[in-house]
Amino acid sequence: MSEMLSLSRAAKLVGVTRTEFQKKIRDGEMISHDGMVSIENLLSCYPDAQLDDTAESRRVAQIKERAFGKRVFESVLPDAEVLAARVTELSRTLAINQGQVQQFNALLGKLWDKLAEVESRLGTESRATMQELKTWIKHEVELAMEPGFINPLAIKDAVLRITTAQVTVLPGKQEFLVEGHDSLLEAAIRSGIPLNYGCSGGNCVLCKARLVSGEVKKTRHHDFVIPEAEASQGYILLCSNTAISDVVIEAAVAGSVQDIPFQEISARVKSIGHINDDMLLLHLQTPRTQRLRFLAGQNATLRVGGSFSADLPIASCPCDDRNVLFHIHRQSGNLFSDYVFERLKEHDAVEMEGPHGEFILHEKSQRPLYFLAFDGGFAPIKSLIEHALSLEAGNICLHWFGSSQKNIYLPKVAQAWRDALDNFRYEEHIAGFDLRSVSGKREETLLRQLGNISSGDPDLLQGEIYIAGPEDAANIAERFFLDKGLPKTRVAVASVK
Ligand code: FES
Confidence (pLDDT) at 61: 56
pLDDT confidence of residue 409: 96
State yes or no: pLDDT of 147 exceeds 70: no
Q: In whole numbers, what is the pLDDT of the chain averaged over residues?
A: 87
Per the CB < 8 A criterion, the answer to whether 169 and 251 are in contact is yes
Q: What is the mean pLDDT of residues 171-187?
A: 89
The pLDDT value recorded for residue 101 is 84
Give the atom of ligand 1 at the shortest distance from the alpha carbon of 224.
3
User: Residue 413: its pLDDT value, please?
Assistant: 92
CA distance 343 to 268: 14
Q: Which of 137-151, 187-201, 438-452 has the lowest mean pLDDT?
A: 137-151
pLDDT at 75: 46
Over residues 89-116, the mean pLDDT reads: 86
Ligand 1 lined by 204 (C-beta under 6 Å): yes
Residue 59 has a pLDDT of 47
Q: What is the pLDDT of residue 49?
A: 60
Tens digit of each residue's pLDDT (9 = 90 or more) over 297-323: 999 999 998 889 999 999 999 988 899
Identify which of 70, 160, 83, 66 has the alpha carbon closest to the alpha carbon of residue 386.
66
How distant, in Å, are the alpha carbons of 431, 449, 463, 479 from that of 444?
11, 9, 24, 13
Tell me the DSSP string of 162-225: HHEEEEEEETTTEEEEEETT--HHHHHHHTT--B--SSSSSSS-TTEEEEEES-EEE-S--SPP
What is the pLDDT at residue 26?
76
pLDDT for 183-234, tens place per residue? 999 999 988 898 998 888 888 888 999 999 999 999 888 778 888 999 999 9
Within 10 angstroms of residue 94's Cβ, the number of other Cβ atoms is 12
What pLDDT, on the 0 to 100 scale, is given for residue 426? 97
pLDDT, tens only, 324-361: 999 999 998 899 999 999 999 999 999 999 999 999 99
* C-alpha of residue 207 to centroid of ligand 1, in Å: 5
- The Å distance, Cα 366 to ligand 1 centre, comes to 32
For residue 390, give the nearest of 367, 426, 421 by alpha carbon. 421
Cα–Cα dist 296/381, whole Å: 9
Residues 27-56, mean pLDDT to the nearest whole number = 68
Among 206, 221, 241, the mutation site with the greatest number of ligand 1 atoms within 8 A of its Cβ is: 206
For 458-491, give the secondary structure using H, E and C.
Answer: CCHHHCEEEEEECHHHHHHHHHHHHHCCCCHHHE
pLDDT at 180: 80
* Cα separation values, 487 from 451, 483, 492, Å: 18, 9, 10
pLDDT at 347: 96
**Does residue 198 line the site of ligand 1, with CB under 6 A?**
yes
The residues facing 218 across adjacent strands are 241
Average pLDDT over residues 274-299: 93
Q: How confident is the model at residue 279 (pLDDT cuts 50, 70, 90)?
A: very high
Site to substitute for ligand 1 among 182, 196, 207, 321, most atoms within 8 A of C-beta? 207
Tell me how far apart the alpha carbons of residues 464 and 178 are, in angstroms, rounded to a whole number: 30
pLDDT in tens, 364-396: 788 999 999 999 999 999 999 999 988 888 899
Atom of ligand 1 nearest to the CA of 202: 3
Among 205, 225, 291, name the best residue to mutate to test ligand 1's pocket (greatest count of ligand atoms within 8 A of Cβ): 205
**Cα separation, 472 vs 440, whole angstroms:** 12
Q: Which residues contact 90 (CB under 8 A, 6 or more apart)?
A: 158, 161, 162
Residue 134: the pLDDT is 87
Q: Is 203 in the pocket of ligand 1 (CB under 6 A)?
A: yes
Give me the helix-helix angle, 152-163 and 80-120, nearest 10°: 150
Identify the bridge partners of residue 175 per DSSP, sorted by sequence position. Answer: 168
pTM of the model: 0.78
If you measure from the C-alpha of residue 17 to the centroid of ligand 1, how many angstroms do you get, rounded to a whole number? 30
Q: Is the CB of 239 under 6 A from ligand 1?
A: yes
**Nearest atom, ligand 1, residue 208 CA:** 4
What is residue 149's predicted lDDT score, i.e. its pLDDT? Answer: 58
| Cα-to-centroid distance, 238 and ligand 1 (Å) | 7
CB atoms within 10 A of CB 363: 16
